[in-house]
Structure 1
Amino acid sequence: MPEKVLVIAVKMPEDNDERFESSLAELKSLSHTAGGTVEKVMIQNRQRIHPTYYIGEGKMEEIREAAEHLGTELIISNDELSAGQLRNLTDRIGVRIIDRSQLILDIFAQRARTKEGKLQVELAQLEYTLPRLRGRGEEMSRLGAGIGTRGPGETKLETDQRHIRRRIDDIKKQLNQVVKQREQYRKRRKSNDAFQIAIVGYTNAGKSTLFNQLTKGDAMVENQLFATLDPLTRQIQLPSGFQTLITDTVGFIQDLPTSLIAAFKSTLEEVGEADFIMHVVDVSNPDLEQHQKTVDRLLEELGANKIPKLVVYNKKDRLKTDFIPMQHPNILISAAESNDISRLREQLEAAIKREWDEYSVSLAPDEGKLLHRFEQETIVTHRAFEEARNQYYVTGYIRQQHPLRSLVKEH
């Protein structure tokens, strides 16, 4: 049975109406993903957030009555609450309360599959919990398997802060090892000179479906927020025969808890290391403009905003009106249609060609291995054998730092 949820939010004069509505819609979607149904949303307009209770004392009584009337088991706040606000609100309303950050952490705890993913989630949860521990012993002891309770577990949370700090240090050490291994793996890929494409986008934009269609793989695909947490990398071949690696990454989201941004930095570092970015946008989502801005802002924070990219406007089959793209270069597709996937491969190759340099090279018949490398590691546009000269003649596009560039000069 889904948990009955009541959402509370404070709207301040400086809050943009559209963004406020979009954050509430997102919170409802997050609650659904975590296994809850939102019975009611209660908003209070205030000049500033109440330092002790988050909301005003009059509104608190309204919320308490509504929770009682609806039989609500959980209240979720749209903003992150301080330890004091969380404690005071719970005491006054008498219903379990969590905030947006805790909800997101809870979903991440459900979704993490790899050892690294699980460690990162636990670290983020412990760092979030540490300052909020005081006075939560009784509340934690009566928690079942409800939303916001997955992850480190009650016993760990009930123990003293020293234990939690030790555990945080321990996880950080383990994660450092994982990061080193990941760096070695990336260096190996770089030394093999594999070209890397990262798929990024707002959560639930259809990245994993697209990744599966391009790689014929079976990444987890669900119509839910954060279906993919652990980055997956596979090889794909573009129309010219050029082979590249492609990575599916965790979905971006506005107002991501700071502890999670830090914890998932190594997961997102894949993006900063990429040679090319595919930014997938759900074209049918009414908040697509806001979503694009969120992704662009996070790419900037990751130092990935200068990497060449192609914007893939996805889910065109769900469009109700005409669509005017905001970013270029772009392509409008439905990830479910194979013709569109073929068009995407071509467009991807065209976008890469625009970034690379043209070359032409002559190769002797006994340089077959070299010819094969040119076919796989560069984008070949023309290849012919000239009998009169007894040579292969190849033209195409090559990236600036590729080891084969020196051979182009020699030949």
Structure 2
Amino acid sequence: MFDRYEAGEQAVLVHITFSDDEKKEDLDELKLLVSSSGVETVGTVTGPRKSPHARYFVGTGKAQEIADTVQTLGANVVIFNHSLTPAQQRNLEAICQCLVLDRTALILDIFAQRARTYEGKLQVELAQLRFMSTRLIRGWSHLDKQKGGVGMRGPGETQLETDRRLLSARITAIKGRLAKVAKQRDQGRRARQRAEVPTVSLVGYTNAGKSTLFNQITDAGVYAADQLFATLDPTLRQIEIGDVGNCILADTVGFVRHLPHDLVAAFKATLQETREATLLLHVVDCSDENYRGNIDAVERVLTDIDAGDVPQLIIMNKIDAFDDVSPRIDFDDEEKPMRVWLSARTGEGVELLFEALSSLLSGQIRALQLAIPPAQGKLRAAFYELNCIDNESYDENGDCILDIRINNVDLSRLRKQFDGALEACIVQNK
């Protein structure tokens, strides 16, 4: 159903500058997107414009210039750094005599190449089908269905109508499969919530270094490369953080300016990890000149997926690109960590990240003294498993006197597990 160009083809890029900030895109980012898709850039057409042209998006003269550039350079695909309407795309293909893609179609193609898991492939196909549903064109008519009998002869369901019906049925089927995957994710998420295990989710602009940092922390061996959208399928790993205990670290898909809404909708189950995280690690490529704009773009996407209120810790990554920047933690007015400067590639500053995570996730550390009778040996063993005992002694009654430092998460879990026995053993709160 899809006429998808093959990797290795040659493209002419089109970048139009608008005065409206909402329509502005980055030409360098488009080149990175094209490179990530495996397409070679042979030429670039640029120009200013106040607003998009209804027929060609660009003006008639600029459209002819694009067509002449395609013919001169022998390109076989034109890629716009903007979103095109179906009519604009068809009109441009007619004048250029080659395939025309917009920014959304290019991102969808990259996602299609990167998807590896069953869920990821379903999500990409759903986004593609939604995108293509408005771009079906009337093809041949000799396959019109006909009914026999008087008064019933003549054209019936056209091929276009057949394509629409089949496409709609496929979208419904994929949604059903993704709903099952979402239930499985919910079960795992509820299990973590019942155990009160904190979840830390890596978010950030694409190619900010999230997967490299993920590998540096977990030794997971996740694919990481200097290209856009190297990570598509989410990966979860368990990590150990001092004063907190076990945590779940999630590596997620990178964001980009004007991320297609179809992709946001298709990746709803994946992005749920971000929405329900305890803390977001917002990874920023501080070596990028436009890193502030990238931060704003990520914040907008987080708002779109209802994750704007989740607490964040900013990770200023790639400090190894500078000679005068050293690892450090920036604190706010309440002495809470707000930024960590590090290099995921070299590992500089990663220990500071763990220090900041411990401070943010541990909350209030409780210092308690308990008198545990011999009959509650399992409770004493539970504290040893958590490695939270500062001192141990015994009184004349044979009770075990424990001085402990424990975070609220673990304390709450033990209270539920031992059903009042722990409260009876508390001598004093220090």
Same fold (TM over 0.5): yes
Query: Equivalent residue for 2:368?
Result: 360
Pairing 1:20–2:24 present: yes
Query: Equivalent residue for 1:392?
Result: 402
Q: Is the 8 A contact 2:199 2:250 kept in 1?
A: yes
SS of aligned partner of 2:24: helix
Using the alignment, how far apart are the partners of 1:252 and 1:402 within structure 2? 36
RMSD: 2.9
Residues 340 and 83 of structure 1: CA distance in aligned 2, closer, same or farther (over 3 Å): same
SS of aligned partner of 1:402: helix
Query: Equivalent residue for 2:245?
Result: 242
Query: Equivalent residue for 1:402?
Result: 412
Kindly provide the CA deviation profile for residues 235-292 of structure 1, in whole angstroms up to 9, marking residues without a partner as x. 1112347111111111111111111010011101101111111111111111111111
Kindly provide the CA deviation profile for residues 198-246 of structure 1, in whole angstroms up to 9, marking residues without a partner as x. 1111111111111112112111111111111111111111234711111
Q: Is the 8 A contact 2:10 2:76 kept in 1?
A: yes
Using the alignment, how far apart are the partners of 1:81 and 1:331 within structure 2? 40
Using the alignment, how far apart are the partners of 2:121 and 2:173 within structure 1? 14
Residues 174 and 247 of structure 1: CA distance in aligned 2, closer, same or farther (over 3 Å): same
Using the alignment, how far apart are the partners of 1:373 and 1:339 within structure 2? 35
Kindly provide the CA deviation profile for residues 285-307 of structure 1, in whole angstroms up to 9, marking residues without a partner as x. 11111111111222222322222
Choose the corresponding residue for 1:4, options 6, 10, 14. Answer: 10
Query: Equivalent residue for 1:383?
Result: 390
Residues 299 and 124 of structure 1: CA distance in aligned 2, closer, same or farther (over 3 Å): same
Query: Equivalent residue for 1:314?
Result: 317
SS of aligned partner of 1:160: helix
- After TM superposition, the structure 1 = structure 2 runs for residues 214-253 of structure 1, keeping only pairs within 5 Å, are 214-240=217-243, 242-253=245-256
Kindly provide the CA deviation profile for residues 340-365 of structure 1, in whole angstroms up to 9, marking residues without a partner as x. 22222122112223x44534242527
Query: Equivalent residue for 1:294?
Result: 297
Choose the corresponding residue for 2:343, options 334, 339, 358. Answer: 334
Pairing 1:206–2:209 present: yes
Which amino acid is the alignment partner of residue 335 of structure 1? A
Query: Equivalent residue for 1:143?
Result: none
Pairing 1:275–2:278 present: yes
Residues 338 and 294 of structure 1: CA distance in aligned 2, closer, same or farther (over 3 Å): same
Using the alignment, how far apart are the partners of 1:49 and 1:233 within structure 2? 43
TM-score, normalised relative to structure 1: 0.85
Q: Is the 8 A contact 1:230 1:250 kept in 2?
A: yes
Query: Equivalent residue for 2:358?
Result: 349
Using the alignment, how far apart are the partners of 2:45 and 2:250 within structure 1? 40
SS of aligned partner of 2:100: strand
Higher RCO by CA contacts (8 Å cutoff, separation 6 or greater): 1
Seq. identity, %? 36
Q: Structure 2 regions of 5+ residues with no counterpart?
A: 1-6, 141-158
Residues 44 and 339 of structure 1: CA distance in aligned 2, closer, same or farther (over 3 Å): closer
TM-score, normalised relative to structure 2: 0.82
Which amino acid is the alignment partner of residue 347 of structure 1? A
Q: Structure 1 regions of 5+ residues with no counterpart?
A: 138-155
SS of aligned partner of 1:362: strand
Residues 392 and 180 of structure 1: CA distance in aligned 2, closer, same or farther (over 3 Å): same
Query: Equivalent residue for 1:141?
Result: none
Using the alignment, how far apart are the partners of 1:291 and 1:157 within structure 2? 41
Which amino acid is the alignment partner of residue 393 of structure 1? D
SS of aligned partner of 1:329: strand
Q: Is the 8 A contact 2:196 2:409 kept in 1?
A: no
Q: Is the 8 A contact 1:281 1:311 kept in 2?
A: yes
Pairing 1:258–2:268 present: no
Residues 386 and 157 of structure 1: CA distance in aligned 2, closer, same or farther (over 3 Å): farther
Per mean C-alpha deviation after superposition, the further-off stretch among 66-75 and 246-255 is 66-75
- After TM superposition, the structure 1 = structure 2 runs for residues 106-117 of structure 1, keeping only pairs within 5 Å, are 106-117=109-120
Which structure has the bigger radius of gyration?
Answer: 2
Using the alignment, how far apart are the partners of 2:94 and 2:253 within structure 1? 36
Per mean C-alpha deviation after superposition, the further-off stretch among 223-232 and 262-271 is 223-232
Using the alignment, how far apart are the partners of 1:29 and 1:191 within structure 2? 42
Kindly provide the CA deviation profile for residues 329-382 of structure 1, in whole angstroms up to 9, marking residues without a partner as x. 1110011334522222122112223x44534242527556545655776x94x6
Q: Is the 8 A contact 1:283 1:319 kept in 2?
A: no
SS of aligned partner of 1:132: coil
Choose the corresponding residue for 1:33, options 27, 32, 36. Answer: 36
Residues 303 and 405 of structure 1: CA distance in aligned 2, closer, same or farther (over 3 Å): farther
SS of aligned partner of 1:79: coil
Using the alignment, how far apart are the partners of 1:326 and 1:54 within structure 2? 47
